[in-house]
């Protein structure tokens, strides 16, 4: 499976600021996804990062709040904008190669004060 | 609405015994099911999967059973080892897309 890295691994941010999370894969992948895991909750898909086009967002998530870029087949970013304490979560990117199995990065633990 | 449910938040098993983790789902369109293991401060690690055309898939110490009529799957780990102590997530996807729907996880503790 692909090796996936995320930066930063964790951060503590002030309310109202924005944070950009990077996801880097060591090989070209077809599909890249962004998930969120709020405390005590399951993983929830935020959006599918599409290479060369706008991301596809799930219900409840909007581009203004979670802008996503995917400039090539190995890299994607997720920005958490205008943060509030409710955005404190673990953010994970995952990749898929066309099969249904997805492989996850190590996650970014975000705390918003 | 939680479409994948893991009703046991935690499970404790003695080393060498069998661990059975359960998962129920509500969406009959799900056709692919996965189990992930997660250690603290790490991302979920893929363990094993099963397609809806099968009722059993085995990989070493790990076996997943699928009962489509009951919309239920289970993960059996035998024999259990202390290194298996982690949170286990059940996930499901349907043929309408690649989104994985996750349960809330079951924390497994394997005691020596």
The pLDDT tens digits of the residues spanning A52-90 come to 888 999 999 999 999 999 999 999 999 999 999 999 999
Q: pLDDT for B3-37, tens place per residue? A: 999 999 999 999 999 999 999 999 999 999 999 99
Measured between alpha carbons, how far is residue B50 from residues A91, B15, B55, B64, B96 in Å?
Answer: 26, 26, 8, 7, 17
What is the mean predicted confidence (pLDDT) over A40-51? Answer: 91
- Cross-chain Cβ contact A1/B46 below 8 Å: yes
Q: Is A105 on the interface with B (CB under 8 A)?
A: yes
CB atoms within 10 A of CB A106: 17
Q: pLDDT for B62-104, tens place per residue? A: 999 999 999 999 999 999 999 999 999 999 998 656 789 999 9
Q: pLDDT for A83-107, tens place per residue? A: 999 999 999 999 987 667 899 999 9
For residue B1, the model assigns a pLDDT of: 73
Distance in Å, alpha carbon of B10 to nearest chain A alpha carbon: 13
For residue B15, the model assigns a pLDDT of: 97
What is the mean predicted confidence (pLDDT) over B34-63? Answer: 94
- Cross-chain Cβ contact B105/A42 below 8 Å: yes
The answer for B84, left when phi > 0, alpha when psi is -120 to 50, beta otherwise, is alpha
**pLDDT tier at A1, thresholds 50, 70, 90:** confident
pLDDT at A47 over 90: yes
CB atoms within 10 A of CB A39: 7
pLDDT at A51 over 90: no
For residue A110, the model assigns a pLDDT of: 97
Higher pLDDT, A40 or B75: B75
Residues from chain A that touch B100, judged by Cβ atoms under 8 A, are 43, 45, 94, 102
Order across the sheet with B19-25: list the strands: B4-5, B19-25, B72-77, B62-67, B56-59
- 3-state DSSP assignment of residue B15: coil
Spatial CA neighbour of A105 closest among A50, A12, A17, A29: A29
For residue B11, the model assigns a pLDDT of: 97
């Amino acid at each position: 499976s692909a090796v996936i890295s995320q930066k930063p691994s964790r951060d503590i941010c002030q309310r109202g600021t924005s944070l950009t999370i990077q996801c880097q894969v060591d090989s070209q992948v077809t599909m890249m996804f962004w998930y969120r895991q709020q405390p005590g909750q399951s993983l929830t898909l935020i959006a599918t990062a599409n290479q060369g086009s706008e991301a596809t967002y799930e219900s409840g998530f909007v581009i203004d709040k979670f802008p996503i870029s995917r400039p090539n087949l190995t890299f994607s970013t997720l920005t958490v904008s205008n943060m509030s304490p409710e955005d404190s979560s673990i953010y994970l990117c995952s990749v898929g190669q066309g099969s249904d199995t997805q492989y996850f990065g190590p996650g970014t633990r975000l705390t918003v004060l | 609405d939680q479409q994948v449910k893991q009703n046991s938040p935690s499970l404790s098993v003695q080393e060498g015994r069998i661990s059975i983790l359960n998962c129920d789902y509500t969406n009959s369109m799900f056709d692919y099911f996965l189990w992930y293991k997660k250690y603290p401060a790490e991302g979920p690690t893929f363990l094993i999967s099963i397609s809806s055309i099968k009722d059993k898939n085995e990989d070493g110490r790990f076996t997943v059973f699928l009962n489509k009529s009951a919309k239920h799957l289970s993960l059996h780990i035998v024999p259990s080892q202390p290194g298996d102590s982690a949170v286990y997530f059940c996930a499901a996807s349907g043929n309408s897309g690649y989104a994985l729907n996750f349960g809330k996880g079951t924390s497994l503790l394997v005691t020596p």
